[in-house]
Structure 1
């Protein structure tokens, strides 16, 4: 069915009429609030008399960075006790000078729906705060997130932060006023610093070409890249489809930053022990379907892999990082539910505890994924220990303990060890290396990196060279000092 020109004109007219009606409704709500405050207090801040998106555009429209101002959103529900924050002329003067103030009332359902629509237009999500009248009024600060150039125009994206809400805004005293002024001043300072950051073109100022910039980005998480280049780097990353690593710090990060990228760009993910896959964030893990590398910091939950299994179906590499110590038994239990797609396993720790691991190794033998082909064990000294009072391995450690762990991984091809020179004695038994190779039939490469120089110790050097020569007949053995 084809539409004639009259039909199209009618459609345009309907759209224009709907937009005018919406705009009229917005102005009516804001004007009603302004009149209410004038009647009660004889004065109020200058409310921006248009939709929220236009308030944001106006706030940051100046070509001079110092003239841009954050937006303060004041949302109340007249069914709750009315705020007293605009009773102070000092606060009103401060807001008029430093903020664009946009106000709203959600006592009517139609107003709430309109607010949701405007919020979605600016932030791509509905207004996120509760309907509970006790939580109102709410003050929300808005600053810019990043800007990108489209068709010779600079388009801005925005981010918001709740400043104060509820009882404190309904209480009038000198302490409340001070708290409010401090909050407003702090957010204003954050917004000013953000504007300076967005205005500073690191790429132009540094003179670096894009190839160099992209090479730098290879060594940064997305979080670090935003800190260095500002959020303006996001459109560039999306345009050139650069693969990135993300440190997942909060739901807010997922909701505000990740939608600016293509989800398939995220190939590596970092999580710390405060992250709970059972909580709401796990519902958002579905966006990480392309992740091939997972880094877990200070995780000890043996049910971890089972919880993550369904989210990371393309996982190839998994790394465990521990600030202090970790038990080899605990690690092995976590690896029992390792996704079968994983081929590379890394363990980075301050101290590796191996007590009586050989007693439970048979139990684990058929449980650890046989898909692992490469394993790195990187044992560095714990930050809480002095350089002279501990070794990286538990005192009861022997080569047999760690060899049993390797032998439980039947398909292993490459073993990579990074150890401190104090632990080198554990790895100087040629016969034990031969037994390990005999039991790990697929093993074809061993790499031993030693932290600290032992070249001055002729006995150690000769022993390592002998091991290298003897093992060379059955496996590629290399040792280096780092």
Structure 2
């Protein structure tokens, strides 16, 4: 399969290939020693003839994944072991092999593009100015622009920044390097809520006092995520368009202690004027701790108030 002309041409055009034959035991030991010398790391898997052919992808480790306990600056991915593609666990054939090679090439190119940009070196700005710039950024954007080095500076000067719509990659690799005292605010889309919580340790969210959710449709999720943020006091719900008045009332019914500040931002309120008094009575009977409520309508009018009162 690897020796087909189509595959050979693709590999030569898109990859730097380093083939090695371990049929002879001395060759196997030589490969292990060369690997250790090149990458300052042991060979990533047990090297046996039963596992061959084997295809290993190598890329530079991104700055956000670097750790002082990691000996190597490189990341290794086992793409093929025997006749099984390790990333998808599919059987080897020309199509599946092409897919896995294409995917790894995309990851490699994206990673190199990310590593090639060093804002600090390119701009020659002093750290005082950089610190001032970060005050207008989210924490994940600050790390992306200035690399992991910015965390020490933020910690030193006790700068707290929000995490805004983080990628899964950020939550998997970067969040563990951040002091939980630096994270006090989250800004998420509804479809990011569950993955963001699952990809990080619960202790990360201990000091979060403010959460903003974009286009939350399933209001029962409010109770679910509130348990993850024990010190939450401010909740903001933002909608890119209108929100139904009855849904608004249901949201109130799902608010639990200890939220003190509650905000809803939307285009306008849509009300069908049915059973409105019933919904109002439910809200009036609630005993929650909200001290401040903001309803911000971009294109609001007094019509709905007059019709529903």
TM-score (norm 2): 0.69
Bigger relative contact order, structure 1 or 2 (CA pairs below 8 A, ≥6 apart): 2
CA distance in 1, matches of 2:104, 2:67: 30
CA apart distance, 1:322 = 1.1
Match for 2:33 among 49, 53, 60? 49
> Cα–Cα, structure 1 residues 280 and 398, in superposed 2: closer, same or farther, change >3 Å?
closer
**Secondary structure of 2:181 counterpart:** helix
Contiguous gaps of at least 5 residues in structure 2? 1-18, 80-84
CA distance in 2, matches of 1:183, 1:176: 11
> Cα–Cα, structure 1 residues 147 and 75, in superposed 2: closer, same or farther, change >3 Å?
closer
Q: Which protein is bigger by CA-based radius of gyration?
A: 1
Q: Deviations over 1:414-452 (max 9, x none)?
A: xxxxxxxxxxxxxxxxxxxxxxxxxxxxxxxxxxxxxxx
Q: Deviations over 1:212-233 (max 9, x none)?
A: 4333322222222233323442
Match of 1:448 in 2: none
CA apart distance, 1:266 = 0.3
> Cα–Cα, structure 1 residues 354 and 157, in superposed 2: closer, same or farther, change >3 Å?
farther
Match of 1:189 in 2: 109
1:295 is the counterpart of 2:212: yes
Match of 1:366 in 2: 285
Q: Deviations over 1:327-367 (max 9, x none)?
A: 23212322334243333222111332233344420121122
1:314 is the counterpart of 2:247: no
Match for 2:170 among 246, 249, 253? 253
**Secondary structure of 1:397 counterpart:** helix
**Secondary structure of 1:362 counterpart:** helix
- Are the aligned partners of 1:326 and 1:353 in contact in 2 as well (CA < 8 Å)? yes
Match of 1:324 in 2: 241
Computed over aligned residues only, the root mean square deviation of the Cα atoms, in angstroms, reads 4.4
Match of 1:179 in 2: 99
**Secondary structure of 2:237 counterpart:** strand
Match of 2:8 in 1: none
Match for 1:38 among 6, 18, 22? 22
Match of 1:109 in 2: none
Greater displacement, 298-307 / 244-253: 244-253
Q: How does 1:134-145 map to 2 (within 5 A)?
A: 143-145=61-63
CA distance in 2, matches of 1:313, 1:289: 6
Aligned residues: 279
CA distance in 2, matches of 1:265, 1:276: 20
**Secondary structure of 2:264 counterpart:** strand
Q: How does 1:156-305 map to 2 (within 5 A)?
A: 165=86, 171-173=92-94, 175-197=95-117, 200=118, 202-247=119-164, 249=166, 253-275=170-192, 277=194, 281=198, 284-305=201-222
Match of 1:123 in 2: none
> Cα–Cα, structure 1 residues 396 and 219, in superposed 2: closer, same or farther, change >3 Å?
same
Q: Deviations over 1:127-181 (max 9, x none)?
A: xxxxxxxxxxxxxx5623249999xxxx9877777865267775254x4554344
